Structure 1
Amino acid sequence: MGENDDEKYNQAGQIFENFVQASTCKGTIQAFNILTRQLELDPLDNRNFYTKLKSRVTTWKAKALWNKLDKRASHKEYKRGKSCMNTKCLIIGGGPCGLRTAIELAFLGAKVVVVEKRDTFSRNNVLHLWPFTIHDLRGLGAKKFYGKFCAGSIDHISIRQLQLILFKVALILGVEIHVNLEFVKVLEPPEDQENQSITGWRAEFLPMDHPLSEYEFDVIIGADGRRNTLEGFRRKEFRGKLAIAITANFINRNTTAEAKVEEISGVAFIFNQKFFQDLKEETGIDLENIVYYKDSTHYFVMTAKKQSLLDKGVIINDSIDTELLLCGENVNQSNLLSYAREAADFATNYQLPSLDFAINHYGQPDVAMFDFTSMYASENAALVRERHRHQLLVALVGDSLLEPFWPMGTGCARGFLAAFDTAWMVRSWAQGKPPLEILAERESIYRLLPQTTPENINKNFDQYTIDPGTRYPNLNSSCVRPHQVRQLYVTNELQQCPLARVSSIRRSVNLTRQESDIRPNKLLTWCQKQTEGYRNVNVTDLTTSWKSGLALCAIIHRFRPDLIDFDALNEEDVVKNNQLAFDVAEQEFGIPPVTTGQELGSAGEPDKLSMVLYLSKFYELFRGTPLQAVDAVEKQNGENNDLGSAKSSNFIFNNYINLTLPRKRVPKAEGKTEENETNKRRRKGLFGVFEETSGFPSQGTNAGKEQSDGREGMNQNKVKSMATQLLAKFEENASNTILRRQELTDRPALLSSEPPVNPRFAKPMDPSLLPPQPKRQFQVVARSEHEVREPKQSLNGSDHMARRAKTVQKTDPQPSLSETSENLASTCSAAFVLSGVLERLQHLEEKMKQKRAQTIANREFHKKNIKEKAAHLASMFGYMEFPKNKLPTKGLSHSQPPTPSCPPPHHSAVAASSSVGSASSAISSQQTTVGKVSRAIGAVAEVLVNLYVNDHRPKPQLELGSLRKEFPMSIGGSDICYFCKKRVYVMERLSAEGHFFHRECFKCEICSTTLRLGIYAFDVEEGKFYCKPHFTHCKMSTKHRKRRATIQ
């Protein structure tokens, strides 16, 4: 009897090995049925099946598999298979995600039934696997079923092989799988609960007489792909540009020549343009990307351009409707085969000895062309239905939940994550957790799924369980509250859910970074309109027309003529023009350059992709901005022009802010009352204009802008015009002309009866005709005059207004004395109010003069090179001691220090127009200000000296051979990462402080935290980037070191 048992078990080991090595769905089912009959096992006994099978199959190969599965089953979340003991689950679809969900539910102890309408696994297409997916499948014993699974650096597997692995594991764990059975719909519990034998939720199948039709379920999970058959789930459609994919599978004969051919893990046009250009020139095939994986077949998938397919005869007739475009009648199958074979042959450099197509389950060559312009995603991951006191949990996984974008390779990984999340939800359901809390937690986790990447999930794969906290870092499983998911608890009949269309571009989930999806021809038309009429600018394309730099400068000048003097540009100075446009665009609009002026000028033809990317930023920024004439600044003056300029500038700034920054909801402060129209007019009518008048030049100065002289003159005239309007209102309220004449005499500098004249074009006046300035006005002037002096060509606006006031005074008639006494009280009160307003206007006017003078001085100073700046500053502050070794004597001897940009103040004005006390206070404040400025400029001068020395220090010469080996000679500075010194491509490139680098290389020098543009600090002396906390720490440490060195 014992010999018979040994023989029986040895035979069982062989049958089990046949089951493990089965290569088809039907063969696997047949081997499994033989195994269960031979070992007298009941496959419907899900609780004990795996334990009995493990005890009766004891070969060394089987024991290795049992160890893997036992390790997985030991997770505490499963509670030794008792977490979901009385839960009955139906899974619709036997794809990878459906089977992976079934395996997890089996570990939880649930009764799991899988229905699959086909009985073949014939899809040769290859799936990309993330690292955690590979680790997870190895934990299920994938290597025991498929020895080549992810050998070496392979990170992919065919769908057919993956289905076979998961199919066998599910059968071993007691999952009940039915093939050739199609799910139709969910059947509600009957109303008559007393007289019916079946009172719960069921499902309708085809064929209708299948025994499973009488089975009741607690949980139904849809895993049947994008054509989801479960009702109640609203889907969103994400539509992008037309995208046509072609998949092709060629027979892999596993020869030595085939083994030598390298795979192509993913080549897109933006990363290897020469490859695709050569492909187009040689074969006429125009692709956007291509992938080649070597698995059980040679698998190619590529995105082809429609025009290329039309030219090659693959698509017979063009059509706007994608369904009509790719229908069978409109596709030439033989040309499609030729197209795929040519592309595969060129991509592998003609190294594959033969390209014979594999045969699919229809008996046809395994080539397919499909449209992935639209992708679908469910708005919700789960819902609960209740009818006649019976509850049903309904969920989605896989492509039914979130359809992947195949070039990103996210399908399998996100499908497995959703399977784990669904198993966690079923566990909570079985433990009696309230339905609304279950749904709220599931929706909170589902919000993370579209954002997952291999980089932002936990890296410790050994700790992965069905608990979402082990997989998602910083998980907030309660971000959706139970009251927000009440609509997912359905107690009546389901309504038809229409498809919600969402306009979207297909890309990785990064909502803070928006890019333009404008087509090149539309962009070219827009550029032609903006540059029309400019000298030596003729835009005919997006490459050579931009080489001179004039076209870029013209676009900037069209919308912001104050930033660039277009008439002063020289067409021959290509490098300077381009660099000027790049610098202005980066400083004023925040548009990072894609290259340098030197590289663009030296290149034979600018790169089209780079130019399209760069110009599209201008399109997004200026789109919808009201255009102004080229000479608008010179032709227009007065209040309307200034307000329009400020609004245009604010529009552009706000437009770019909306383009680049994520939107953030700011809560409204409680207790804040709404303003009525009267209050708004009062606030905006007078002081709103004052703030805009003073704020616009200030904003421009802080941003480093150089305002034109005409604009400054208009701002001054604007202040005087406002004063004139105030005086007119004052005259209407006060009829006493004697007091009015007295007010005019006291404030001659602020009043005018004629339209203001631009001081830039006013004639010089005789100083003898000018009245003395009042004391109130002098106090304002005295505060600012010792800091900057007004240039000679700008006439003092107060003197000019005083002359106008005298003219008005002479022409006024003499009123009667009785009228004077009657209106004295009202006139005095109005005079006090007006005096405060006029004083503020005068203060604003002096501020504008001061800023204008500073702008002119800064402009002159920045024209000098580092050497001249250092010499200039050193000559201005000669009393400061500089280290002798920091400034070469030879360099200073040949350059004469220019005239200081901040000349000494006018002490004569102080002596003539102010008291001794006010003069002494002005002088003391002057000394304090000059002292502070001296120390600040002295520090800047020392930095410039260091820069000059470092700039002239001899640098070690690198070997030309090493440079040639590392980078091609055609690569410029913008193509080399500032940090890792490796090549950086256009689409992955960022720039800051004039340096170009990879996104992932932009890190803090100390803590290696990834930095973001706009939230970093840069040390000019060391050339290093820091996060702001460490930059402050470094600066404090440097100060302490310098202080200790000074003490010692």
Structure 2
Amino acid sequence: MASLDPVNPAHVAFDRFVQAQDCEGVQRHFDELCQQLDIDLKDFQSFCSELKERLNYWRAKALWTKLDKRASHPDYQQRKACTKNKCLILGAGPCGLRTAIELSLLGARVVVLEKRETFSRNNVLHLWPFTICDLRGLGAKKFYGKFCTSSLDHISIRQLQLILLKMSLLLGVEIHTGVEFQGLLEPSGEKGWTAKVLPETHPASAYQFDVFISAGGGKFVPEGFKHKELRGKLAIGITANFVNRCTAAEAQVEEISGVARIYNQKFFQDLLTETGIDLENIVYYKDDTHYFVMTAKKMSLLKKGVIKQDFNEAEDLLAAANVDQEALLRYARDAAHFSTGGKLPELQFAQNHARQPDVAVFDFTCMQRAENASLVRERRGKKLLTALVGDCLVEPFWPLGTGIARGFLAALDTAWMVRSWGLGVPPLKLLAERESIYQVLSQTTPENTGKNYAAYSIDPKTRYLRVNLASIQSSQVQHLYIVDKSNPSSKKQNNRRSYARQDSGGSEELLKWCQKHTAGYDNVDVKDFTNSWRSGLALCALIHRFRPRLIDMSSLNASACVRNQQLAISVLEKELGIPPVMSAADFANGGQIDRLSMVLYLTQIKNTFTVLTQVHASTFLIGPPPAHHSVICKHHGPWGFQYKQACV
């Protein structure tokens, strides 16, 4: 029988590229494809058109149709919105690559730096409906045939990275693995902004850019960004990946999309009785591996010898020296065996990047959130737009599976900002809009975003319900425009004064809103943005007006200023995701309260309460649920929130 394999070498290279299942293989076969087609990778502006023209292959045409449909959206202006921009992205994780795709569609030259040379993360991500639609629209199924088949709504991080890597390369994104980013280098002479990298002789060290985006998780946070920490009740998570041999017996084992103690007490009691393992919840997904994730009780881990010694601090409790690795392996294996009814014939641990059994115990009590999503630096007349995406912007609340969904939303938001940058929008106006959009992100759920997923674009109004792009004014983000102090521009100073004057009307409106919603409360008289807030009662009154269950006003004492402030600050941060602008003690006892900081703080509070009221906040959860309600499947929890299937 004659072979049906294509004989055209370029077609062979394309098939190998599509089928490649590791980072090195994808890059090698892509380089081979470009060589066969005689296409210059450096010519990013004509790369895509030449690739489509020269690769006249039926297996590629369906993919071109998908990508062409996306690229034809008016937001990209025929890939000309950012043709003058050069972008550097740190990190080839899902969020970094998703951002790179959008910036390339805008016409920018995009370079991605990744320290690792392999994609080795087996953990499985839960996908919100819009992320599934988004990836399908980019041709994910062409690269991974099993993508979200039937009722599946999850994918391994490694597989998602491979899909996005292939998409990025086809769109002309330049990706360098095995390159370590060490920091930004300021302009000198005729040279613009560059990056310090290892190895020092790598070509990326000469790349000059005007947009820098960090998608490197918490490992690298650029200068000028600060993070706030949110801590809750101790919650200990365990993830475990077992080898999936893809046998018929394994295929018959049902997944566990989310079992929580409060909804299946018998299951967890039987687990405890039979194995001594005490869990709050467990999830099992079948992907490249058999993936289990669970929340374990501390006393159970101590009794089973997983944790050697009890400590008050989570960092000490889960330090490597205080965890018995062999006991941890037994704990995870026994939990997986029991929860699947012993139907998995063998439970052999898959290997992680260090070639060790892929099991981990971690604390998800603490979450980080950046105070701002963007800033602009100017040195020697050269501006650099800097932004955060992914976990270095907002760490996900682990049990709700928010990481990849909010990561993709932030990638689209950032692309919208870069579009404005390319179109010449003034920096302060651009920053104000980006920070206005950022205020919505931490409250985003599948329930309060638009349901017409096919209409989603980089324009925030297509995704967020009733988003106010002007909720933060230009005068409130002046600190995010960092100009070389040794060479101040009087023109810029005049512009900032102009922005401040323009914002005066907005401040008056904000003050009236605060007065209206604190009227009638004892010992509360809002007259300004400084001293009126010192006792803490005004903040508590605002919260009580919209969420009376969160604060008992009758228990507050006007003289206990620090206590009042701490209560208000804690509620606003933990329940609404609004980070404080200063400590409770500084509020109550310090000197002059910074007016602009207070205006920004109150603006966030106003916007949050306004949005939540408009979308009927009583139907979804504000902030993370208590640890004992962490992973639930389609049940209503304490604040009326309908929990969804979830995992890391």
TM band (smaller chain): 0.7 to 0.9
Q: What's the TM-score once normalised by structure 2's chain length?
A: 0.75
> Is the contact made by 2:99 and 2:414 (CA closer than 8 Å) also made in structure 1?
yes
- Partner of 1:457: helix, strand, or coil? coil
Give the letter aligned to residue 175 of structure 2.
I
Report the equivalent of 2:41: 43
Please name the residue that 2:275 is paired with. 283
How far off is 1:313 after superposition?
Answer: 0.6
Give the distance between the partners of 1:215 and 1:624, measured in 2 at CA: 60
Is residue 402 of structure 1 aligned with residue 51 of structure 2? Answer: no
1:268 equivalent in structure 2 = 260
Cα distance in 2 for residues equivalent to 1:112 and 1:258: 42
Counterpart Cα distance in 1 of 2:634 and 2:26: 49
Q: How many residue pairs get matched?
A: 507
1:118 matches 2:113:
no
Change (3 A) 1:189 1:999: closer
**C-alpha displacement at 1:237, in angstroms?**
0.5
Compared with structure 1, are the counterparts of its residues 659 and 34 closer, same or farther at alpha carbon in structure 2 (3 Å cutoff)? closer
Distance in 2, matches of 1:238 and 1:361, equals 29
TM-score, length-normalised on structure 1?
Answer: 0.47
Higher helix share: 1
Quick one: distance in 2 between partners of 1:214 and 1:989?
A: 55
Residue 50 (structure 1) shift: 1.2
Q: How does 1:774-789 map to 2 (within 5 A)?
A: none
- Asked if structure 1 preserves the Cα contact closer than 8 Å seen for 2:181 and 2:198, the reply is yes
Q: Specify the alignment match of 1:448 in structure 2.
A: 440
Aligned counterpart, 2:469:
477
- Matched residue type, 1:254: C
Deviation at 1:988, TM superposition (A): 3.0
Is 1:108 the counterpart of 2:97? The answer is no
Whole-Å separation in 2 of the counterparts to 1:206 and 1:260: 48
Paired with 2:455 and 2:335, the residues of 1 have a C-alpha distance of 43
* Alignment-derived partner of residue 55 in structure 1: 53
Contact kept, 8 Å, 2:6 with 2:12, in 1: the verdict is no
Q: Which has the higher strand share?
A: 2
Could you say which residue in structure 2 is the equivalent of 1:422? Answer: 414
Aligned amino acid, residue 378 of structure 1: A
SS state of the match for residue 413, structure 1? helix
8 Å contact 2:86–2:108 — kept in the other structure?
yes
1:357 aligns with 2:349: yes
Q: Structure 1 623/341 Cα, relative in aligned 2: closer, same or farther at 3 Å?
A: farther
**Residues 105 and 423 in structure 1, CA contact (< 8 A), matched pair in contact too:** yes
Matches within 5 A, 1:178-257: 178-190=176-188, 196-198=189-191, 200-257=192-249
Q: Is the 8 A contact 1:378 1:402 kept in 2?
A: yes
Q: Is contact 2:307–2:323 with CA below 8 Å preserved after alignment?
A: yes
After TM superposition, give the deviation of residue 149 of structure 1 in Å.
0.3
Per the TM alignment, residue 247 of structure 1 is displaced from its structure 2 partner at its CA by: 0.6
Cα distance in 1 between the residues matched to 2:405 and 2:634: 28
Deviations 1:492-525 (A, max 9, x none): 479xxxxxxxxxxxxxxxxxxxxxxxxxxxxxxx
**Quick check: 1:9–1:57 contact (8 Å CA) kept in 2?**
no
Work out the CA distance in 1 between the residues paired with 2:346 and 2:235. 29
Supply the AA of the counterpart residue of 1:386. E
Task: Please show how residues 512-523 of structure 1 align to structure 2 within 5 Å.
Answer: none
After superposition, where does 1:471-620 map in structure 2 within 5 Å? 471-492=463-484
Letter in 1 for 2:307: I
User: Equivalents in 2 of 1:324, 1:113: separation in Å?
Assistant: 39
CA contact (8 A) 2:380 2:484 kept: no
The one-letter amino acid of 1:385's match is R
Q: Deviations over 1:43-68 (max 9, x none)?
A: 11111111111112222211111111
Q: Max radius of gyration: which structure?
A: 1
Encode CA deviations 1:449-481: one digit per residue, 9 max, x unaligned: 011111111111111111111111212100101
Kindly tell me: are residues 659 and 232 of structure 1, through their superposed partners in 2, closer, same or farther at Cα, counting changes over 3 Å?
Answer: closer
- Structure 1 residues 45 and 343: CA distance shift in structure 2, 3 A: same
Change (3 A) 1:270 1:228: farther
What does residue 1019 of structure 1 align with?
none
1:988 and 2:637 matched: yes
Structure 2: 5+ residue runs without aligned partners? 487-548, 558-566, 577-632, 643-648
Shift of 1:157: 0.2
* Distance in 2, Cα, partners of 1:9 & 1:76: 39
Q: Pick from 314, 318, 325 the counterpart of residue 317 of structure 2.
A: 325
8 A Cα contact 1:265 1:292, kept in partner:
yes
Pick closer, same or farther for the CA change 1:73–1:354 going to 2, 3 Å: same
Residue identity opposite 1:115 in structure 2: L
Distance 1:101 1:493, change over 3 A: farther
SS for the counterpart of 1:451 is: coil
Instruction: Give runs of aligned pairs for residues 903-942 of structure 1, distance below 5 A.
Output: none
**1:613-632 pair list within 5 angstroms:** none
Match of 1:48, SS?
Answer: helix
Check whether the contact 1:185–1:229 (CA below 8 A) recurs between aligned residues. no
1:34 and 1:622 mapped to 2: Cα distance? 69
**Distance of 2:320 and 2:634 partners within structure 1:** 43
RMSD over aligned CA atoms reads 2.6
Distance across 2 between alignment mates of 1:11 and 1:421: 40
Identify the residue that residue 31 of structure 2 maps to in structure 1.
33
- Residues 637-716 of structure 1: pairs in structure 2 closer than 5 A: none
Look up the match of 1:534.
none
Give 3-state SS (helix, strand or coil) of 2:45's partner: coil
Q: Tell me how far 1:999 sits from its aligned partner.
A: 6.8
Which protein, 1 or 2, shows the higher relative CO under an 8 Å CA cutoff with sep ≥ 6? 2
Please give the secondary structure, in 2, of the residue aligned with 1:490.
strand
Q: 1:279 to 1:467 in 2, by over 3 A?
A: same
Q: Which moved more, 1:226-235 or 1:294-303?
A: 226-235
CA distance in 2, matches of 1:999, 1:243: 20
Partner letter of residue 71 of structure 1? Answer: K
Distance 1:160 1:441 in 2: 33
Aligned pair in 2 of structure 1 residues 491, 620: CA closer, same or farther (>3 Å)?
Answer: closer
Q: Distance in 2 between matches of 1:21 and 1:461?
A: 28
Alpha-carbon distance, 1:316 to partner: 1.1
2:179 partner letter: L
Contact 1:184–1:229 (CA<8 Å) still a contact in 2? no
Q: Do the aligned partners of 1:621 and 1:659 also contact (CA within 8 Å) in 2? A: no
Per-residue Cα deviation, 1:548-599 (whole angstroms, up to 9, x for no partner): xxxxxxxxxxxxxxxxxxxxxxxxxxxxxxxxxxxxxxxxxxxxxxxxxxxx
Structure-2 change in CA distance of 1:623 and 1:340 (3 Å): farther
Task: Report whether the alignment pairs 1:294 with 2:298.
Answer: no
Q: Distance in 2 between matches of 1:383 and 1:179?
A: 27
Q: Secondary structure of 1:113's match?
A: strand
The AA in structure 2 aligned to 1:261 is V
Write the distance in 2 (CA, Å) between the matches of 1:412 and 1:250.
Answer: 23
Report whether the alignment pairs 1:466 with 2:424: no
Partner of 1:779: none
Is the contact made by 1:102 and 1:170 (CA closer than 8 Å) also made in structure 2? yes
Aligned residues of 1:127 and 1:156 also touching (Cα < 8 A): yes
Q: Which residue of 2 aligns with 1:378?
A: 370
1:337 CA drift (Å): 0.5
CA distance in 2, matches of 1:78, 1:260: 45
- Relative to structure 1, the CA distance from residue 221 to residue 493 in structure 2 (aligned partners, 3 Å threshold; closer, same or farther) is farther
AA aligned opposite 1:379: E
Matches within 5 A, 1:675-824: none
State the AA in 2 paired with 1:312: K
Could you report, residue by residue, the CA deviation over 1:71-97 in whole angstroms, capped at 9, with x for unpaired residues? 111101111111100100000000000
Determine the structure 1 residue equivalent to 2:127.
129
1:84 maps to what in 2? 82
Amino acid corresponding to residue 39 of structure 2 in structure 1: L
Select which of 89, 94, 114 maps to 1:96: 94
Deviations 1:873-932 (A, max 9, x none): xxxxxxxxxxxxxxxxxxxxxxxxxxxxxxxxxxxxxxxxxxxxxxxxxxxxxxxxxxxx
Question: Cα distance 1:426–1:257, how it changes in 2: closer, same or farther (>3 A)?
Answer: same
The amino acid that maps onto 1:144 is K
> Aligned partners of 2:323 and 2:370: how far apart in 1?
32
The CA deviation at 1:621 is 6.5
For residue 13 of structure 1, what is the aligned residue in structure 2? 11
